[in-house]
Amino acid sequence: MAVPVTVSVSVSVAVTASVTVSVTVSVTVSVTVSVSVAVSVAVSVAVSVAVSVAVSVAVSVSGAVARSAASVSVVAKRRWREARPLSRSSRSDGGAKRDHRHRHRHRHGHRHRSIAPFAPRPHDPPSGPMETTTIYETVHGSQAYGLAREGSDLDVKGVVVGPKAWYFGYRGGPEQVELGTGELGDLPKDHVAFEVRKLLRLLANANPTVLELLFVDADFVRVCTAEGRLLLDFRERFLTRKVGESFGGYALGQLRRIQTHRKWLLSPPKEAPTRAAFGLSERPTIPKDQLGAAETLLERGAFPDEAAGFLDTLAREKRFESAKKQWQQFQQWKRERNEARAALEAKHGYDTKHAMHLVRLQRMGLEILTRREVIVRRPDREELLGIRDGAWPFEKLLEEAERMAQAIRDAVPTSALPETVDEDAAEALGVAIVERVLFA
């Protein structure tokens, strides 16, 4: 029988040992009690009503029970603690047991995650052996350009298809595999392999380094599988007007480095910049995370005239940050440049090796735009090596760099090359290569 009541119940049951448990709960209850007693148990329960909650309790006691007083006390306390959330959700006794198991698993899972995260961070490479398949590999760099001299490094670059886990697993795989440096014959080597999808993305953007890989002379190719042949058959379709930006942009990047290094050679910074030298207080008055927002407002002309003092401080902060960055780059340049490069710079007043590659990049870019040819082994080898040896004064290099930059800009709109790669076709190529390697 179930009747809503406000009750004070005292029930005594004897359980082998003499135990009395007293619990007080404030609740309005609807109670159905079915008790079958086969042993003597004593329980005293006092219930006083203060809130409105609905509870359905089914109790069946049968059999002979014999427990110690300590054991009964522990069980009784645990069950009364668990009764509070159970009463709020109107679940049966069986539901309480399932809920307990669920909470138990959750707690253990949480503890496990706090000790060792199950999934690696996105930039972590997947653990375990990498069973890659090389589909294409070639010698690259100065050897392939025909510009190598005694002691030149041997650059080896390749294309790989990874194991199935890279494509179907939740962790994915790396975009580039550094296979390390070492010796190959009598030459030091630098060995890098691109995962095929990464390579295709770089090719679609006319990246000079990877575009050249597909056009080296055949005698430099070390590996070319049937899948690698698919890449080579597609190579002409990767030639687009983006070459003007990529080859031309890389070349101008070389020029900026040359100019910066020349400035350091002729007038090296003598000491790290200080805030005082820029008329700034020891501690910044504009937090770093607000500098960008302030600059944006300045560009929009959103500052009132009364903010002149703030704008002056902002300008000083910017100059100081720029000087600090230059100082850090100068220190890194001094630490990392090799002796041979330092000797070239000291002898000729600028980095002539960078100058050689600047000229090569610009000429190759213009050749692609106007002739649709990627000429890796350089027919102008002797002139380029002469530039490396200081045949051009710095002023001639600047003049020629500007002339070629303008020629590239003029060639882009009139080039017969398409604007961009046919991305659907490039995607189909990538799918075909991966499927053939993994499922053939």
Query: What would the 3-class secondary structure string for 289-332 be?
Result: HHHHHHHHHHHCCCCCHHHHHHHHHHHHHHHHHHHHHHHHHHHH
Residue 439 belongs to a domain: no
55 lies in a domain? yes
pLDDT score at 336 = 79
Task: Tell me the C-alpha distance between 199 and 160, whole Å.
Answer: 9
pLDDT for 285-339, tens place per residue? 777 666 666 667 666 665 555 566 777 787 888 888 888 888 888 888 778 777 7
Q: Which residue in 60, 54, 62 sits closest to 34, CA to CA?
A: 60
Same structural domain, 287 and 385: yes
Regarding whether 230 and 139 lie in a shared domain, the answer is yes
Of the residues 191, 211, 238, which one is the last residue of a structural domain?
238
Tell me the one-letter amino acid at 255: L
Domain boundary among 215, 238, 261: 238
Number of domains forming the structure of the chain: 3
- Same domain for 268 and 364, yes or no, is yes
My answer on whether 293 and 252 are in the same domain is yes
Boundary-marking domain end, from 206, 238, 270:
238
Query: Six-digit token pair at 121?
Result: 């961070």
DSSP-assigned letter for residue 126 = P
- Same domain as 392, residue 279: yes
Same domain, 206 and 354: no
432 part of a folded domain: no
pLDDT tens, N- to C-terminus, the chain (440 residues) = 444 444 444 444 443 333 343 444 343 334 343 333 333 333 333 333 333 333 333 333 333 333 333 333 333 343 334 333 333 333 334 343 333 333 333 333 333 332 233 333 344 444 444 588 999 999 999 999 999 988 788 889 999 999 999 999 999 888 888 776 555 554 446 788 999 999 999 999 999 999 999 999 999 999 999 999 999 999 999 999 999 999 998 888 888 888 888 888 777 888 888 888 888 888 877 776 666 666 676 666 655 555 667 777 878 888 888 888 888 888 887 787 777 778 888 888 889 999 999 999 999 999 999 999 999 999 999 999 999 999 999 999 999 999 999 999 999 999 999 999 999 999 999 999 999 999 98
Q: Which residue type occupies 345?
A: E
Closest CA to 258 of 323, 321, 344, 331: 344
Residues 225 and 246 in one domain: no
Mind listing the pLDDT tens digit for each residue in 125-167? 444 445 889 999 999 999 999 999 887 888 899 999 999 999 9
pLDDT at site 180: 64
pTM: 0.61
Residues 221 and 248 in one domain: no
- The answer to whether residue 324 sits within a structural domain is yes
Q: Are residues 312 and 371 in the same domain?
A: yes
**Which domain does 88 fall in, by range?**
3-115
Would you state the structure tokens that stand for residue 62, as one six-digit string?
């049968």
Q: Is residue 152 part of a domain?
A: yes
CATH code, 162: 3.30.460.10
Same-domain status, 346 and 359 = yes
Whether 164 is covered by a domain: the verdict is yes
Is residue 431 a part of any domain in this protein? Answer: no
Same structural domain, 321 and 401: yes
Run of H or E residues at 353: helix 352-371
Q: Is residue 122 part of a domain?
A: no
Residue in this structure with the two tokens 């008329």, named with its chain if needed: 279
Are 396 and 247 contained in the same domain?
yes
